[in-house]
Amino acid sequence: MKVSDTGEFGFIDAIKTNTLFDESTVVKGIGDDCAIYRAAIGYDQLITTDMMVAGIHFSSQTTTPFDVGYRLGAANISDIAAMGGIPRQAVVAVAMPKDTEVSYITSVFDGLKAICRTYAVNLIGGDTVTTTGPLTLTVTLIGEVPAGQALLRSGAQVGDIVIVTHHIGSSAAGLALLLAGITDEQFAVCKKAHQRPEPQVILGQWLRQQGATSLNDISDGLSSELNEIAKASKVNIEIDSTAIPIHKSAVQVAQQLGVNPLEWALYGGEDFQLVGTMPAALHSVIAKEESIHCIGRVVSGAGQVILRTADGETYPLEAKGYDHFK
């Protein structure tokens, strides 16, 4: 059955259940001109919006409809994590071709609801329209952070250490696997990193509580995010390439495909891990955490990122993230 058969209100009826995962903050969910929610006293409000277009941001070859919704939620929740915040409320706008299968779009919403459930995000409203173009989805997410404590990209201080969570480059490795048609189970961790990336909400809050000075999520590649922090903070950042955490599974995929996994880590996006800076005095705290790695330090400078390679050479690391318009 296609969405043109159910009509707008039939479609809304099909997706509007199982949308509230923390009712304590919701006054009125789906079904009026606006949704209504309560903000916590003493907290700043965070807002982020992300748009995904079929054929540009995902393809049916590498992404199931469930994962389309899951990744869209992950991208937004990750932006809240990157401020050290708590994700709270989401609205979703969807433009669909009239011949979209209802089963496809309800699966997209199932994926979105699944990640919303995991992070206690309420889906409280939206808009549905038709388009003559590809399926297009916009999620807007509201989060909260204790007043004045949001982690900006402009807070890095000379002397800070640079940290990264978990592993990076795994999502790019997973995409390469999928495009190459490799289904080997031993690489499952990379495939999952691409298909169902986990936003680092808990670590983002933990880093804020520990006293991190800046934070970004890695949506466009490490090189791009580091350059954003360096530029916004008006400092230089020195990175030790041998310290960049790349999962052994991604290294194996890279060997099999004959590429350098460091390229994936530096320029592959959508890992949704966090990169940021902390006072060097916290190095011993970080050293105890398996999921956080020190990869460099902040020095004075005009906003450059310098990479030191395994053989001791240094060169400027350009921001080669994805430019949507080029």
**Nearer Cβ to a copy of itself, position 42 or 312?**
42
User: With contacts defined by CB under 8 A, how many residues of the chain interact with a copy of itself?
Assistant: 77
Give least dist CB 163 to a copy of itself, A. Answer: 16
The angle subtended at Cα 289 by Cα 205 and Cα 307, nearest 5°, is: 90
Closest CA to 161 of 210, 202, 201, 212: 212
Is 106 a binder of a copy of itself (CB under 8 A)?
A: no
Which segment (63-71, 136-144, 174-182, 286-294) binds a copy of itself by CB under 8 A? 136-144
Pairing mode of beta strands 161-165, 274-278? antiparallel
Q: Tokens at residue 58, please?
A: 């995902």
**Nearer Cβ to a copy of itself, position 16 or 192?**
16
* Calpha distance 194→271 (Å, rounded): 7
- Residue 29 and residue 20 in contact, taking contact as beta carbons nearer than 8 Å: yes
Pairing mode of beta strands 214-217, 136-146? unpaired
Output phi, psi for 273, to 5 deg: -80, 175
**Nearer Cβ to a copy of itself, position 223 or 249?**
223
Residue 5 marked as a ligand binder: no
Give least dist CB 56 to a copy of itself, A. Answer: 6
Strand partners, 54: 58
Among 127, 183, 255, 314, binds a copy of itself (CB under 8 A): 127
Residue 99 marked as a ligand binder: no
* Calpha distance 226→296 (Å, rounded): 11
Window 46-85: contact mask with a copy of itself (x via CB under 8 A): xxxxxxxx-xxx--------------------xxx-xx-x
**Nearer Cβ to a copy of itself, position 146 or 301?**
146
Residues in region 146-175 near a copy of itself by CB under 8 A: 147-148, 150, 152-154
Secondary structure E strands in 184-311: 214-217, 236-240, 274-278, 292-299, 305-308
Residue 322 marked as a ligand binder: yes
Residue 313 marked as a ligand binder: no
Which segment (4-12, 164-172, 192-200, 246-254) binds a copy of itself by CB under 8 A? 4-12
The angle subtended at Cα 316 by Cα 314 and Cα 322, nearest 5°, is: 135
Residue 104 marked as a ligand binder: no
Among 1, 59, 129, 234, binds a copy of itself (CB under 8 A): 129
* Calpha distance 156→308 (Å, rounded): 20
**Nearer Cβ to a copy of itself, position 148 or 181?**
148
Is 218 a binder of a copy of itself (CB under 8 A)?
A: no
* Calpha distance 257→252 (Å, rounded): 9
Give least dist CB 260 to a copy of itself, A. Answer: 26
Residue 213 marked as a ligand binder: no
Closest CA to 126 of 248, 48, 34, 10: 34
Q: What residue numbers does the annotated binding site for substrate cover?
A: 57, 270, 322
Q: What residue numbers does the annotated binding site for Mg(2+) cover?
A: 33, 48-50, 79, 127, 217, 220
Q: What residue numbers does the annotated binding site for ATP cover?
A: 126-127, 153, 219
Q: What residue numbers does the annotated binding site cover?
A: 33, 48-50, 57, 79, 126-127, 153, 217, 219-220, 270, 322
